[in-house]
């Protein structure tokens, strides 16, 4: 019988680049920047790595289709390297491959690395077309934009729960304000300038009700992790070990876009994926047990709805929790986007999931500096790839090893 992966795998090292418009370097240099920090943090030799997983999404405009760029850039010595891609969950998917490999007993020490170099493509947003989105784009998503589709999510949410437009905008402004407050304390964030809620409310509308500050940007970046068993971590002299409590993945089956059972106000995948993650991690009350979260805040409305899909806020009550400061870093609830989130980091797709884990890892080790949370126990990361009506959800839970 399957028992899950709780406490079977430990993270012994992580690295993350500064995210931003990295015009001066390419994807390979980003990979090295993250890897050098990760390897030094792990305290092992490069030759100790037995297998690696490489996450990158936009292959036609980035490093290519194969795993070869990771092997050659890092000079990995004739070991298995696998390239993975799963939309915005790509970084977490690389991590999942490395974690599962260690949990299975196939390898002792594995590497997961994600990277994306998007600012050199000439696009204002994410590039379209290519093997990643071609068929879906012309067959299922004609004339579609990301802000437009997530704005529809906001409209459906307001309609279902009879929330006034102004109240929703104010809650979304608080979400963005919170992220900017946290991002201002993070030297690796792309955007580090504080803004007021009034400035956010007054920003230009992109797709009603989403304004400029409700949308995350595009950036370059890389992040990585080295994982092993808790037993090996102890032999390496690691203290206060961070272990993986759960990793779950859920993809839309097509029911949201093809049938009328979904009313457009939430993410079906996140709701179901989070239940499985809590079960694997042994969590009964996430509102009380989760210490902090990094959510896929591609838009402010995404973060708002995700609070409910994670079963932390009750359905229709996220706005109230937000305005009460429940998700603020010092609000006494469950801090969200502690590092600034996608809102302040941007979204180099292959790196985002591992960047989220990097913040959880720092927090659990007490190494997050000015943004450090008091005595965190469990951290949750959430990726959402695609659109409200057809998407991929990945959830990871990490915490202090108690074995």
378 alpha carbon, distance to own chain's centre: 16
Token pair of 65, please?
Answer: 């289709």
Q: Which long-range contacts (CB under 8 A, 24 or more apart) does 308-313 make?
A: 308/266, 309/266, 309/267, 309/270, 309/271, 309/274, 310/270, 310/274, 310/286, 310/380, 310/382, 311/271, 311/274, 311/275, 311/278, 311/286, 311/287, 312/286, 312/287, 313/287
Q: Residue 88 catalytic? A: yes
Q: Which of 88, 216, 298, 393 is catalytic?
A: 88
Radius of gyration of the chain (CA): 20
Adjacent-strand bridge partners of 210: 207
Beta strand 292-294 with 378-387: parallel, antiparallel or unpaired? parallel
For residues 120 and 20, is the Cβ–Cβ distance under 8 A?
Answer: no
For residues 242 and 398, is the Cβ–Cβ distance under 8 A?
Answer: yes
Q: Residue 273 catalytic? A: no
Q: Which of 347, 365, 382, 393 is catalytic?
A: 347
Backbone angle region of 108, left / alpha / beta, with phi > 0 → left and psi within -120 to 50 → alpha = alpha
Q: Which residues are catalytic?
A: 88, 347
């Amino acid at each position: 019988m399957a028992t899950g992966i709780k406490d079977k795998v430990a993270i012994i090292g992580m690295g993350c680049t500064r995210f931003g418009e990295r015009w001066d370097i390419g994807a390979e240099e980003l990979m090295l920047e993250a890897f050098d920090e990760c390897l030094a943090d792990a305290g092992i030799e490069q030759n100790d790595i037995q297998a690696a997983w490489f996450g990158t999404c936009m292959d036609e405009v980035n490093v290519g289709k194969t795993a070869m760029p990771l092997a050659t850039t890092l000079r990995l010595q004739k070991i298995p390297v696998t390239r993975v891609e799963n939309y915005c969950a790509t970084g977490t998917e690389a991590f999942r491959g490395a974690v599962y490999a260690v949990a299975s007993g196939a390898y002792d020490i594995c590497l997961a690395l994600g990277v994306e170099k998007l600012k050199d493509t000439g696009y204002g947003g994410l590039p379209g077309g290519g093997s990643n989105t071609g068929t879906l784009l012309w067959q299922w998503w004609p004339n579609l934009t990301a802000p437009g589709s997530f704005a529809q999510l906001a409209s459906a949410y307001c309609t279902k729960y009879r929330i006034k437009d102004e109240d929703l905008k104010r809650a979304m402004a608080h979400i963005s304000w919170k992220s900017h407050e946290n991002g201002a304390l993070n030297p690796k964030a792309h955007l580090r300038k504080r803004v007021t809620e009034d400035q956010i409310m007054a920003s230009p509308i992109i797709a009603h009700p989403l304004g400029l500050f409700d949308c995350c940007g595009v950036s370059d970046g890389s992040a990585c992790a080295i994982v092993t068993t808790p037993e090996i971590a102890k032999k390496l002299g690691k203290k206060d070990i961070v272990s993986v409590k759960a990793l779950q993945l859920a993809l839309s089956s097509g029911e949201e876009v093809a049938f009328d059972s979904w009313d457009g106000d939430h993410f079906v995948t996140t709701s179901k994926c989070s239940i499985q993650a809590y079960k694997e991690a042994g969590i009964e009350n996430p509102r009380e047990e989760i210490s902090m979260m990094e959510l896929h805040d591609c838009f402010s409305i995404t973060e708002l709805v995700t609070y409910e899909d994670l079963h932390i806020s009750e359905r229709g009550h996220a706005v109230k929790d937000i305005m009460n400061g429940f998700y603020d870093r010092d609000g006494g609830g469950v801090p969200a986007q502690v590092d600034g989130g996608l809102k302040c980091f941007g979204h180099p797709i292959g790196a985002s999931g591992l960047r989220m884990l990097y913040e959880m890892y720092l927090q659990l080790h007490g190494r997050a500096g000015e943004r450090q949370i008091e005595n965190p126990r469990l951290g949750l990361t959430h990726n959402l790839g695609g659109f409200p009506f057809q998407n991929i959800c990945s959830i990871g839970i990490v915490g202090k090893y108690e074995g």
